[in-house]
Chain A
């Protein structure tokens, strides 16, 4: 029952991603990507992971808002003049081979529904008694595997910091002219001059 429902969801996801890849209007393709994300969240709920379903829905909403607000308002079309034949043909050949070998490799995994839970059996049996938290996933994330959470907080911190460094403009509107000349930062007027020169 769960298997048939997941099968239908996966077919839906594949159709959605075909639409997201091929359509020429960028707004439609971003919305199709959002539909794929919503279907993934329903699949997580079917598979017994409510934490992950909440996180996936909210993160996917933020992905949509960031992509639309930051990029689509600038330029909305994705029309290509001519196909990149070499890239398309070589990637199709490679992915055909990959899928053949993936089909053979997937037979070696444990069958769907019978995972080999060697460490997780200990977490399930002794989690409440050792940490006192009723949510075993929270105790795994923050107590048994707390070091991984520290690494993940570092990765998020670094990526947001990198995005800020890339987006930093050299001048600021509310600084006065004398301040910028003293410190050596360009003012907005000078950025405009540079921009005009570049445009010519």
Chain B
């Protein structure tokens, strides 16, 4: 239980960084930390005590895998989620570069004040 709670604390810290900091790169870093926390939470839910990875080797019986294997379904979800996070980050960095070209700063409060 305490592990789930600490993961949610990490998530909250990522969202705090997204809201309360004014530099755009800091906001991107906050979103990345939020991403890590959510992926970790999903994998934590799928863990089985004394579990092995859900991969079959030779000379392994099906009973061992069915009794000790961890949950493969959250792993399938997180596998796609990690690579999607990378794609979204590249889109955000493209927007930041365009903003820097136009306003010469990464500071959000300056960008709010200047008129196009």
Contact = CB atoms under 8 A, between A and B. Distances in A.
- Given a CB threshold of 8 Å, the question of whether A touches B is answered with yes
Interface of A: 3, 6-7, 10-11, 13-14, 17-18, 20-21, 26, 29-30, 33, 36-37, 40, 43-44, 47-52, 55-56, 59, 62-63, 66-67, 70-72, 74-75, 78, 80-81, 84, 87-88, 91-92, 95, 98-99, 102-103, 106-107, 109-115, 117, 119-121, 123-125, 127-128, 134-137, 140-141, 145, 148-149, 152, 155-156, 159-160, 162-163, 166-167, 198
A136 B25 CA distance: 38
Nearest to A112: B3
Given A17-B14, A59-B86, A84-B22, A10 B48 contact: no
Interface in B19-77: 19-23, 25-26, 28-30, 32-33, 36, 39-40, 43-49, 51-57, 62, 65-66, 69-73, 75-77
A17 B13 contact: yes
Interface of B: 1-10, 12-17, 19-23, 25-26, 28-30, 32-33, 36, 39-40, 43-49, 51-57, 62, 65-66, 69-73, 75-80, 82-91, 93-98, 100, 102, 105-107, 109
A107 B78 CA distance: 23
Given A44-B43, A87-B20, A128 B56 contact: yes
Residue picked from A91, A92, A149, most chain B C-beta under 10 Å: A91
A137 B54 contact: yes
Nearest to B81: A152
Given A112-B47, A159-B87, A102 B5 contact: yes
A40 B83 contact: no
B58 to A, nearest CB: 9
B10 A10 contact: yes
State the main secondary structure of chain B at its contact with A.
Answer: helix
Contacts of B62: 125, 128
State the main secondary structure of chain A at its contact with B.
Answer: helix
17 contacts: A6-B44, A7-B2, A7-B3, A18-B13, A20-B29, A21-B13, A43-B43, A47-B70, A52-B75, A67-B25, A84-B109, A106-B4, A113-B47, A119-B73, A125-B66, A136-B72, A163-B91
Given A84-B22, A112-B47, A117 B79 contact: no
Contact of A166 (B6, B13, B94): B94
Given A55-B79, A59-B86, A14 B6 contact: yes
Contacts, number: 255
Residue picked from A95, A111, A124, most chain B C-beta under 10 Å: A124
A199 to B, nearest CB: 9
Contacts of A99: 5, 8-9, 12
Given A56-B39, A115-B71, 18 more contacts: A14-B13, A21-B13, A47-B46, A48-B52, A48-B53, A51-B75, A63-B32, A63-B86, A67-B29, A81-B109, A95-B12, A95-B16, A102-B8, A112-B44, A124-B66, A124-B72, A152-B84, A162-B94
